[in-house]
Structure 1
Amino acid sequence: MKGRLEDRIFDGVNYLLLSLIFFVTAYPFYYLLVTSFNSGTDALLGGAYFWPSDFTLENYKTFFNDSKWLSALFMSIARTVVGAVTGVLFTCLVAYGLSHKGLVFSKVYFSLVIFAMYFSGGLIPYYVVLRSLGLLNSFATYIIPGMLNTFFLLIAISFFREIPNDLKESAWMDGASELKIFYRIILPISKPLIATMALFVGVGHWNSWLDSAYFVRAEYLRTLSYRLIEIINQSRVPQEAIEAAAGASSVTSYSLQVTAMIVSIAPIICVYPFLQKYFVAGIMLGSVKE
């Protein structure tokens, strides 16, 4: 009985701490959601903490009726999808080539990768390189520089080296080429690696705004993250000016900013559960039995 009482007390303290941590981490997102469904002018007065005090859909109507925001949303989606696919594919291709133990000049290649991972030329040399390659003010500015991720390259190399050679040797005996082995054997059993890379590379593309601010000029190439930074900077005006501007409309710059945050967060929250199951999956589960 004493042991059961101690276990119950221990479990109760754990549940209490976990509930507190969950509330502290989840409430900011919930508050943004409440504010996005609340009237902008009413939100300036405060008081809407757990549910909208003046429920409205005007914030979302204003967001989705604005061609500037819709263009930015489409550009972020296109950039994230294309950037994640090309980044994962190209990084895995390079990693698969470098994972071969008999590769000539492998030490030189690894030295270059590690040097590139730890050292950068800076913003101005990076701009000069993009200009010399003709990548400025184009969609390729978002995609080509991120096609090779040096951090995940090293992880993928270690991952591929753990794959038994029996799989590749059996394919070689059947006359399969290296590319066929890569696409038909290596990639299908590398879902945990691919899912992890796709999530982090995709989130990096989705949240990136610096390249949209410095390397493109066309408005249709602006991303959602850049528009968020733009409206955040525009909203840094005195409170009296905000209230005066909001007098004729229930939508304020703050409520529109919060709505844009919810829209930008929603895709990541929806995609993550589908990739989470691969994070803990075994790499060689059922592929080789010795």
Structure 2
Amino acid sequence: MKAKKRKRTREDWIMDSVIYVFSIIVLFITIYPFYYVFVLSFNDGLDASLGGIYWLPREFTLENYTQFFNDMKWLTALLLTVLKTLLGTLLGVLFTTLVAYGLSFKDLLGRKWYMTFVIICMYFSGGIIPYYTVLRSLHLIDTFWVYVIPGMLNLFYITIGRTFFEGIPESLRESAKIDGAGEFRIFRSIIMPISKPFMATLALFVGVGHWNNWYDSTFFIKTKTLRTMPYLLMEVINQSQAPSDLNAAVHQSSTTSLSIQLSAMVVSVVPIIFIYPFLQRYFVTGMMVGAVKE
């Protein structure tokens, strides 16, 4: 017998209206700054400096992006950022997942001590000076690999991954072993396909971390051609002026240092906005729905 649908009262309508209005206001406050930057990046730089632009470009132009992509300093930094993000995310997800999967074995010898070591290292850091000394001893300072190798293993994500893999029934691994599969075959053919929610979430967090990271370029890189786009953006914002090579381009066109900075911000934000929807569905996917009946 179907339950009767409760009749909505006047108080329900009022409360729903208040919630919707509040949600729309919060949504507008959150999105409008990004939209405003996007609009200004497509407007003539000199015209935008006069103000009064809020919703649409007043003098539409692609000159800001042309100047940005024609400047080798920004273009090199963009390509370097893309490369380190792709490579760092791939290796970070692979090694973090492998270690987390290994620590999820309940019969692992010394498992308790391994986890104790991981937790201690996660909460207590040696500081920037010992960290710099380790990187220098590994000959990673002022090289591209300083962006990738230190981030291949994340202790916080290891603890999350271990909990995830512990929820996978042992019967899956046991049945595969009976069929003659080895550990790597089990991991590749069984564990990885049903671990997409964890791996997709891990890839998103690790990728965003690599994409936005300016810290490594600040302390561990001296060569200007190895500096990433987040570092250049931070440098320009802190100095409140465009780099010298951009100033030369500005004087020859209607662009301004601010309009090129806004273009760089849009270029740095758009990839994350487009990638997130493809990974979002894994956040709400059941981890073991229908996989096995115990």
| TM-score interval (norm. to shorter) | over 0.9
Matched, 1:266 2:270: yes
Task: Give the structure 2 partner of residue 255 of structure 1.
Answer: 259
Contact 2:45/2:258, CA 8 A, preserved across alignment:
yes
Q: Which moved further from structure 2: 164-173 or 122-131? A: 122-131
Structure 2 residue corresponding to 1:88, chosen from 62, 76, 93: 93
In structure 1, C-alpha distance between the alignment counterparts of 2:262 and 2:156, rounded to whole Å? 33
1:1-290 equivalence runs, <5 A: 3-235=8-240, 249-290=253-294
Moved more, 69-78 or 3-12: 3-12
Contact 1:235 1:253 in 2 (8 A): no
| 8 A contact 1:41–1:246 mirrored in 2 | no
Write the distance in 2 (CA, Å) between the matches of 1:169 and 1:163.
12
CA contact 2:41–2:260 (8 Å) conserved in 1: yes
1:157 positional shift: 0.2
Alpha-carbon distance between aligned partners in 2 of 1:17 and 1:99, rounded to the nearest angstrom: 44
Q: Is the 8 A contact 2:241 2:257 kept in 1?
A: no
Partner Cα distance (1:123, 1:247) in 2: 41
Please state how far the C-alpha of 1:103 moved relative to its aligned partner. 1.2
TM-superposed CA distance for 1:246, in Å, is 6.2
Question: What is the identity, as a one-letter code, of the residue corresponding to 2:55?
Answer: F
What residue identity is the alignment partner of 1:135? L
Q: For 2:250 and 2:153, how far apart are their aligned partners in 1?
A: 46
Tell me the TM-score normalized by structure 1.
Answer: 0.93
Partner residue in 2 for 1:240:
none
Identity rate, percent: 57
Deviates more, 1:200-209 or 1:46-55: 46-55
> Displacement, 1:233?
2.5
> Is the contact between residue 41 and residue 247 of structure 1 (CA under 8 Å) also seen in structure 2?
no
How far the C-alpha of 1:236 sits from its partner, in A, is: 5.0
TM-score (norm 2): 0.92
Moved more, 246-255 or 114-123: 246-255
Offset from partner CA, 1:102-136 (integer Å, 9 cap, x none): 11111211111111111111111111111100111
Distance 1:32 1:147 in 2: 34
Superposition deviation, residue 249 in structure 1: 3.4
Q: Separation in 2 of the partners of 1:277 and 1:125?
A: 41
Deviation at 1:153, TM superposition (A): 0.3
Q: By how many angstroms is 1:138 displaced?
A: 1.3
Q: Is the 8 A contact 2:41 2:263 kept in 1?
A: yes
Alpha carbons 1:235, 1:254 under 8 Å: kept: no
Cα displacement (A) at 1:42: 2.0
3-state SS of 2:147 partner? helix
Segments of structure 1 that go 5 or more residues without pairing to the other structure are 238-242
Letter aligned with residue 173 of structure 1 = I
Report the Cα distance in structure 2 between the residues aligned to 1:96 and 1:116, rounded to whole angstroms: 19
Q: Where in structure 2 are there 5+ consecutive unaligned residues?
A: 1-5
**What is the Cα-based RMSD across aligned positions, in Å?**
1.9
How many residues in Structure 1 have an aligned counterpart in Structure 2?
A: 284
CA separation in 1, counterparts of 2:250 and 2:272? 31
Q: 1:2 to 1:184 in 2, by over 3 A?
A: closer
Q: Which moved more, 1:220-229 or 1:168-177?
A: 220-229
